[in-house]
Amino acid sequence: MSESRIPYALLPVSGVMLIIAAFNGGTLPFGFVLFSASLFIFSFIFLVREEIRIHKQIASEADALQNKLIESFNEILRENSADIGLADTLGILENESPEEVRFKGIFAQLEFTRGLFNRQLNLFRAKNKTIKDLNDRILFSKQQLEAVFDAQAEAICMLDSNLKIFRLNKAYSVLCGKPLKQLIGEESSRMVPVNGIDLIKRAAQQVFETGQSSAPIQLETTAESNRRFFTYRAFPIFEGENVAFVLEHYRNITEEKRMNEQLIRSANLASIGTMIAGIAHEMNNPLSGISGTAANMVSMPDTYGLNPKGKERLQDILESASRAENILKGLLDLSRKKEAQFVIMNIVPAIEKAAQSIHINGYGHIRRTIFIEPGFSPVVNCDSSRVTQVFINLISNASLSVLELENRERLAGREGYQPEIRISIRKRGNYVGVSVTDNGLGIDPDKLGQVFDPFFSTRPTGQGTGLGLSICQKIMMEHNGRLVIDKHDRGETCFTAEFPSASAN
């Protein structure tokens, strides 16, 4: 048994001895009684002193704990409430000073410390919740700004003072053709595939130096297959009085530039149309004289001394004059604005008329076939002249393609190529489908998305206006139909015009 436990054991023993002495006082020796009383008093005093020592130790430890708590609370308060100290907090939470509290005893002091801790903890939790709410709001605002930033269709990036990319949106990544993560930290002027890299770099540097936005710079991409045009500008982003970042903005003006070119060409075409109308009108007069004179001579061969050979040649003159008049009539029809006149008709005559109206050198020896699905009546509600214009364009394009391939084959010394155009008329659900198929050059896959764009042409510069297919597409929309590319490979290109069927079968 340890020495500290001996007084605790002696107290009950001495107590029992005193009880025995009290009941047997006359029989027990006086020394035994005195010893028992002395032992009891000694044990009791020792225990009291031990309890006092333990209480003092608890009080000392409580003071140390309180001091530590006060020190930690002061640190929390210094971090979160600047000039507000613990004394002020205590004054608010309690109307009594810590000195007065000490007189309440050790347990009251511990209760006070616990209450103070709980109150400080509640304050800390409330402040922490406020900070968390602010952080959540800031994060939500950041996410909103990033969403707006990435949703911009125009390329945007932010540069640091070293002209390195600090932030960018998805459109900028698409423009550069690289993932976002690979572009962070790279030099902007080296990443964008446009002409004028030195101009971009100089403009961004001047914005850092002057704090003024740059003037617009016209740029174009370096790729030849899909050229695009941009307007570049750089804007300062300030931090205090200094420029911290530069925002680069690339606005795609390809469509705008194309529309401006279309307006210019449309104005030119309008002038050409007016001029053609005047020329066609003037040419009709001499042609009428030629055809009238030739017809008169053919009707009276004896009067003019014509032999059979002369009559044959005069007949050729009449046919040539008639073809010239038809061409001029077609030019006049194109140059005049007419209201559409829809009638229910069989579409085959319009196709045959279109096939006979082509005047291209070499067109005569192209093999041409027209196939109509057996038992099918291709009746549609349409404007005959405008539908004929669609078929003239499709057959003309097919003719130019096969003749160009024939010329290439001949120059390469290869024989056996036969230009061919097949026109098929079939039922396609509730539509009448007219397909024009040729075995010519085909269409590059890169250009498929542009074939119906105004002024786009696969012909060399100066050959063709690029208006044909775009006009055909517009005419088909007016007829509630559509024009599609069914095949585009070399050796077989097929355009199909679909019209709503007006026939019961």
Q: What is the DSSP string of 93-107?
A: H-SS-HHHHHTT-HH
With beta carbons less than 8 A apart as the criterion, state whether 486 and 494 touch.
yes
With beta carbons less than 8 A apart as the criterion, state whether 238 and 244 touch.
yes
CA angle 342, 344, 347 (to 5 degrees): 100
H-type helices in 357-491, by residue range? 384-411, 468-478
Q: Is 337 helix (H, G, I), strand (E, B) or coil?
A: coil
Which tokens sit at 137? 């709001």
Region 326-353: mean pLDDT is 76
Which tokens sit at 460? 């060399």
Percent of the chain with pLDDT over 90: 15
Q: What is the mean pLDDT of the chain?
A: 76
Q: What residues contact residue 379 under an 8 Å CB cut-off, 6+ apart?
A: 344, 345, 346, 347, 432, 501, 502, 503
With beta carbons less than 8 A apart as the criterion, state whether 435 and 494 touch.
yes
Residue 3 has pLDDT above 80, yes or no: no
With beta carbons less than 8 A apart as the criterion, state whether 297 and 306 touch.
yes
Model confidence over 159-177: pLDDT tens digits? 998 989 988 888 888 888 8
Half-sphere exposure of 394 (CA within 13 A, CB side): 32
Higher pLDDT, 367 or 103: 367
Query: What pLDDT score does 140 carry?
Result: 75
Residue 448 has pLDDT above 50, yes or no: yes
Helix (H) or strand (E) holding 249: strand 242-252
Residue 2 has pLDDT above 50, yes or no: no
Residue 499 has pLDDT above 90, yes or no: yes
The residue among 476, 471, 432 whose CA lies nearest residue 454 is 471
Region 329-348: mean pLDDT is 73
Confidence bin at 19 (pLDDT 50/70/90): low
Which tokens sit at 332? 């006049």
Query: What pLDDT score does 21 carry?
Result: 60
Specify which residues 484 forms β-bridges with: 496
Q: What residues contact residue 391 under an 8 Å CB cut-off, 6+ apart?
A: 350, 351, 354, 355, 434, 436, 497
Give the separation between CA 154 and CA 172, rounded to whole angstroms: 7
Query: What pLDDT score does 31 carry?
Result: 64
Rg of the chain taking only CA atoms, in angstroms: 51
Confidence bin at 26 (pLDDT 50/70/90): low
Give the separation between CA 39 and CA 14, rounded to whole angstroms: 6
Give the separation between CA 128 and CA 280, rounded to whole angstroms: 88
In terms of pTM, does the model score above 0.85? no
Region 56-63: mean pLDDT is 68
In terms of residues, how long is the chain? 505
Which tokens sit at 405? 């391939």
Query: What pLDDT score does 497 carry?
Result: 93
**Pairing state between β 229-239 and 242-252:** antiparallel
